[in-house]
Every structure is written in C-alpha cells, then in structure tokens.
Amino acid sequence: MSEAASVYLHVPFCLSKCPYCAFASAAACEGDWEIYLRAASSEMERRAPEAGPLETLYAGGGTPSVLSPGAWGGLIESIEKFFEFSDAPEVTIEANPGSLTKEHLTLWRGWRVNRVSLGVQSLDDGELAALGRLHSASQAAEAALMCLSAGFSVSLDLMFGLPGTPDDLRGWAGTLRRAVALGPHHISVYQLCIEPGTPFGAAYADAPRASDGYVPYRYAQWLLPRLGYEQYEVASFALPGHESAHNLNYWYDGSYIGIGPSAWSCVGGVRSKNASRLRDYAEALAQGHAPTDYAERIEGEAAARQAAVLALRTRRGINWRRFRARYGEAFADAIRKDLENIPGDLASTDEFSASLSKKGLRLGNAIWANII
Ligand code: SF4
C-alpha cells in the first residue's frame, strides 16, 4: 500500500454555528474537548502505520483556534508521538479572528506550523453581521497582521455572492482590496452556497440572488493577478511560492489520512469518511473499531475521471505522462477526446497536458459534468 504523506486533522468545534454553515461543527459541550483529544490521539495511533514522513499537515474545521493553547499542546504531543515529518513540511492551521490569540501563535510558531489560514469572509462589518460571523472587519485585519508579524505564511478566505448584497461589486471589490492591503501570501475566494437544512437555507432558498457569482468571481480573476496573486486553482490565488501544498496533494490525486469526526481519507484507492457525530466517532475508537461510516474503493474509469476533474481544477491541469502511467492509455485517450470537444477558449489539450483557461475555470462545473 502506498504511504500517505498528508494528514488532515478535523477540529469539530466552533464558538457558535454560522447560519449558512453545513460543515460538521458545533459549539462544544462540557467534556467534549477531552473526548475529542482522547479519540483523535487513538485514531492517530491507529492510522500512523499508513503514513510515511509527512509533507503536509492541515488542521481545519470547525475552528481549530477555538481549542485553547493547552488543548493544542495535547494535540501536538499526539501528532509528534505517532507521525514523522519530512525535512520541510507545510503545516497549516485554520483560525478565526474571533478566537485566535497571541498564545496560539506563539505555541504554533514554536512547533512546526508555518501557515495560518484565516476565515475572514468579508472586510465589511455589515456583511459580517449579515453572515452571522462573530468578528468585525477590524478584528479580522488585526488577526491577519498578528499572523504576518509572527512570521507565518498567511491565507485569507473571502466569500462573495452574499444574499441581499447589491451586484454592483462595490462591497466585494472593497473587501478584496482591503484584504490585499494587509499583505497576505494567499487568498481563497468562495461563493456562498445556500445549503438546505441551514437557517440560510430556510430563509433564502427561493430568494433571488443579487449575484450568480460569475461577475464577482471574474473580478477576482482580473484583480488579484494584477496585484501579484496568480490563480493556481479555481478558488485559490497565491504569491509565488505560497501555493497550498496540502491542497495541491488533493488535486493531484495524492493519498491523505483524515483524523477526527467527519474527516475524509483516501489511501490505497479507498476513500472513506469518519462518523460525523463526536460521540459515535469516539465510541467506535474506544471499542477498537475504525470510526468510519462510509468507504468505497474507486478504480478503473471512475477513478481516472475523478482524478482528471480534480487536476482540471488547477491551472497546470492534467499531465498526460503521469496520468497515463497511473490510469492507462485507454482512459487517458477517452478523457482527452472529451476535452477536445470543449471550445478552445475554455480548455486546451495537447500531447503533454490539458488545462482550463480562466474562462473555463469560471464555467468549471459545466465542463467537469462532461468528464465525470
Ligand atoms: S466558523 Fe466556519 S465551520 Fe464554524 S460554523 Fe462558521 S462557517 Fe461553519
């Protein structure tokens, strides 16, 4: 079995639940942290034999900065006990401006963390309030500056297509420019999805959206490269050398181990997902079982097509030599033929590689539907 060089650690706690969020996260109840720390450590021990020296580790959530520095000390101890790292790993922790402290940063910096991804979403107080976020624009700016002056590579998550915001781009352009002025190394842009089963789902399911997302997304594609941030994936823009190695591993079909409730793994061609409820997850581990509630082996053409779609999320796209070596001539040729039917201003393919243009990335969902 090939060894995974990437670990994703899911921290399932948040200060409170944002009204649009469908992720597996919740405010912690009494005793939840202890249950989580014990179970995560037990899962690390169980999964460690599948891992080689780690090239990347990414702690996401949820809100990892909700855990106190003391609790983080426990997590770090378990990680160091069960995993080895390569010589220069990328270690990222997600944080929210409302819970991140200097103590977190000192602890993380003294360990191996070299990258912080901040859930800023907007730098407009009205939009942040509408999103139900707990931080203000000035708190978000302070958190970003604190991470930068502590020496981290910093990524900011920003969100467009908010319901009820005018489509005149003013709000989005203001957030983007203010974000760049802070000097982050990486910016991720996402369209707000109205998810069924969330308070926003109930409130806005049938409400007309001020924006379908195309215009603000195109604006980001126009603005950010002019300011030095190259788009290297559908949602990701980075200064040279600051692309997310962890995410590139997903998009280029690498193996990864997911630790924590609801975390996904993909090792040896098997994709699996852990139980989402903390107590189910912890109970399975306490009884000596894998805490998974779903697993499938992906192989043959389905695996090839899925890998092609993931690679096409990136500007570099598919490398046919590597793709053929892994999935064989026949599937590579079939996918290449499908791509040749896509208009040349959206996708280009030659004997070496295939990739989407910036316009193609804007219409990615429609293109990928033709390949999967
Ligand atoms: S902070 Fe993030 S993970 Fe937590 S509820 Fe809000 S959107 Fe969801």
The 10s digit of each residue's pLDDT in 105-149 is: 999 999 999 999 999 999 999 999 999 999 999 999 999 999 999
The pLDDT, as a whole number, for residue 211 is 58
> Quick check: 368 and 347 in contact, CB under 8 A?
no
Which residue from 13, 20, 21 has its CB within 8 A of the most atoms of ligand 1, so it is best to mutate?
21
Nearest 5 degrees, angle CA 108-CA 112-CA 113?
55
Going from the Cα of 72 to the center of ligand 1, the distance in angstroms, rounded, reads: 19
Dist. CA 65–CA 54, nearest whole Å:
22
Task: State whether the beta carbon of 63 lies less than 6 angstroms from ligand 1.
Answer: yes
Task: State whether the beta carbon of 274 lies less than 6 angstroms from ligand 1.
Answer: no
> Quick check: 343 and 366 in contact, CB under 8 A?
no
Tokens of 75: 């997590």
pLDDT over 90 for what percent of the chain? 87
Torsion angle, alpha carbons of 229, 313, 157, 225, to 10: 20
If one counts every other C-beta atom within 10 angstroms of the C-beta of residue 183, the result is 11
If one counts every other C-beta atom within 10 angstroms of the C-beta of residue 38, the result is 15
pLDDT (mean) for 333-359: 95
Going from the Cα of 15 to the center of ligand 1, the distance in angstroms, rounded, reads: 9
Q: Where do the structural domains in the chain lie, given as residue ranges?
A: 4-251, 302-369
> Quick check: 71 and 37 in contact, CB under 8 A?
yes
Going from the Cα of 101 to the center of ligand 1, the distance in angstroms, rounded, reads: 18
Least confident of 48-57, 163-172, 193-202, 272-281: 163-172
Rounded to 5 degrees, φ, ψ at 169 are 70, -5
Going from the Cα of 196 to the center of ligand 1, the distance in angstroms, rounded, reads: 16
Which residue from 11, 13, 63 has its CB within 8 A of the most atoms of ligand 1, so it is best to mutate?
63
Domain 4-251 fold is: TIM Barrel (3.20.20)
Sheet holding 318-319, edge to edge: 318-319, 353-356, 347-349
Task: State whether the beta carbon of 23 lies less than 6 angstroms from ligand 1.
Answer: yes
pLDDT value at 210 more than 60: no
What is the overall mean pLDDT for the chain? 94
Nearest 5 degrees, angle CA 94-CA 95-CA 98?
160
- Reduced to 3 states (helix: H, G, I; strand: E, B; else coil), residue 187 is strand
Place of tokens 């502590």: 150
Task: State whether the beta carbon of 97 lies less than 6 angstroms from ligand 1.
Answer: no
Going from the Cα of 297 to the center of ligand 1, the distance in angstroms, rounded, reads: 30
| pLDDT per residue as tens digits for the range 174-189 | 999 999 999 999 999 9
Amino acid identity of residue 196, one-letter, is P
pLDDT (mean) for 20-29: 90
1.20.1260.10, 1.10.260.40, 1.10.10.10, 1.10.10.920: CATH of 302-369:
1.10.10.920
